[in-house]
Amino acid sequence: MSISVPKMKTVYTDKTLDLAVLSVDDNNFKSFGELPYSFKKSIADPGEKVYTLGFPREDLVYGEGSISSYTGFEGDTASYQVSIPVNPGNSGGPLFDGQGNLLGIISGRNASAEGASFAIKSKWISESIVTGK
């Protein structure tokens, strides 16, 4: 089965967060319609269940775990630490809560600590996009 990938253009980048926002730039693209999720504005609590989707292989991989800490690597307040399996290919993928809200974007893992992965908080992502900083 062949999948047609639409043409994209970059509309926003943030080198500090290692983030890019893309827009579909293809007249043949049909809309996704209404998206079934939104950015979560509040901070998630440790123990909250979280879910990932990503392409560390050829097919879509689902993962589940929980928020481990309010802060990321070395106390980074823009990130969460999450206890969820993350592999190369998951970076840049979504981190969802049980209601389908976007909590963050997977940004990596700590190779020296099994199960310690990190996600940039959606609060920082949405503020960065809105303010352009």
The string of pLDDT tens digits covering residues 95-108 is 999 988 999 988 87
Average of per-residue pLDDT across 56-71: 87
Chain centroid, CA 30 distance in Å:
24
Among 105, 11, 131, CA closest to 52: 105
pLDDT at 92: 82
Chain centroid, CA 15 distance in Å:
15
* pTM over the 0.85 mark: no
* CB neighbours of residue 13 within 10 Å: 13
